[in-house]
Amino acid sequence: MPYLPVGYPDLATSIDLIQALAATGADLIEVGVPFSDPLADGPTIQAAAQQALANGVTSSACLAAVRTLRGRGVQTPLLLMGYVNPILAYGVERYVADAADAGADGFIVPDLPPDEAAEMAAACAEYGLALIFLVAPTSPDKRLRLAAEHSKSFLYLVSVAGVTGERRELPPHLADFIARVRAHTDLPLAVGFGISTPEQAAAVAALCDGVVVGSALVRLAGETRPAAKVSALSSLLSAAVHDTTMINH
């Protein structure tokens, strides 16, 4: 489950890169919508968002990117990942309706916990889109149940207390955390934050149903010949995750 933001390094390239993610076997793609103050993100994604905004990318441009990808025959589920203020500025219901129309499958909004999500959840229900909630290692059981009850399609586990970004080691208590969440829900579980290499992805995939990789891909998107590099890492990640899945099942 790779993440790339629309508009980085530029709009056209970012759409090509997301298409490449689909072609290299991604099960689902998180399409990043840039925001000026991304407080759940580390330096890599912050910098990419700033560049995307400098390139003039708006919420409308992100929805249009989804439409373009569908027009090019991309079938992979696409989730829009962005912060709540641009959604409020666009208008919650109109945003959800236009996203559905463009061909998106749902949303991840890191600063919209279930407690504040009633309006967005109602709009998603109306238009048949998924609103994915996050849980963290700090979440007590009560909040795991709350998120599981409200999340549609899967639950997003934040692997570590912290922001997005590549880390050398996986968090030590990840298996315990995943098991604790598993005890509360039958939803598929995806794990993200701090996972960047195929080896890490394989290790995490053995414990859950989906692995999110963002910053490592975003970093490559900013280098020279990004298409080749992003495709190569995405292929390795897909292989690593799917091999493990096959071994497990």
Q: Which residues bind another protein (CB under 8 A)?
A: 35-40, 42-43, 46, 50, 53, 58-60, 84-90, 110-113, 115-116, 133-140, 143, 147, 158, 161-163
Report the residue number, 185 or 235, with the smaller CB distance to another protein. Answer: 185
CB 192 within 8 A of CB 157: yes
Report the residue number, 110 or 198, with the smaller CB distance to another protein. Answer: 110
What b/e readout covers 169-190, taking b as 16+ CB neighbours within 10 angstroms? ebbeebeebbebbbebbebebb
Least distance to another protein from the beta carbon of 238, Å? Answer: 27
Would you call 186 a catalytic residue per the annotation?
no
For every residue of 107-133, which 3-state class applies, written as one string? EECCCCCHHHCHHHHHHHHHHCCEEEC
Q: How far apart are CA 99 and CA 195, in angstroms?
A: 28
Least distance to another protein from the beta carbon of 87, Å? Answer: 7
Least distance to another protein from the beta carbon of 43, Å? Answer: 8
Report the residue number, 6 or 74, with the smaller CB distance to another protein. Answer: 6
Nearest alpha carbon to residue 46 among 226, 234, 228, 219 = 219
Least distance to another protein from the beta carbon of 119, Å? Answer: 11
- Strands across the sheet with 78-81, in order? 3-5, 29-32, 78-81, 106-108, 130-132
Q: Is the peptide bond before 9 cis (omega within 30 degrees of 0)?
A: yes
Element at 70 (helix H, strand E): helix 59-71
**Among the options 37, 41, 166, 176, which is catalytic?**
41
Would you call 41 a catalytic residue per the annotation?
yes
Least distance to another protein from the beta carbon of 40, Å? Answer: 5
Report the residue number, 72 or 173, with the smaller CB distance to another protein. Answer: 173
Measured from the Cβ of residue 145, the count of other Cβ atoms closer than 10 Å reads 14
Element at 88 (helix H, strand E): helix 84-90
Report the residue number, 76 or 159, with the smaller CB distance to another protein. Answer: 159
**Among the options 30, 98, 105, 209, which is catalytic?**
30
Those residues with Cβ within 8 angstroms of residue 193's Cβ, 6 or more apart along the chain or in another chain = 158, 159, 160, 162, 163, 164, 165, 212
The catalytic site residues sit at 30, 41
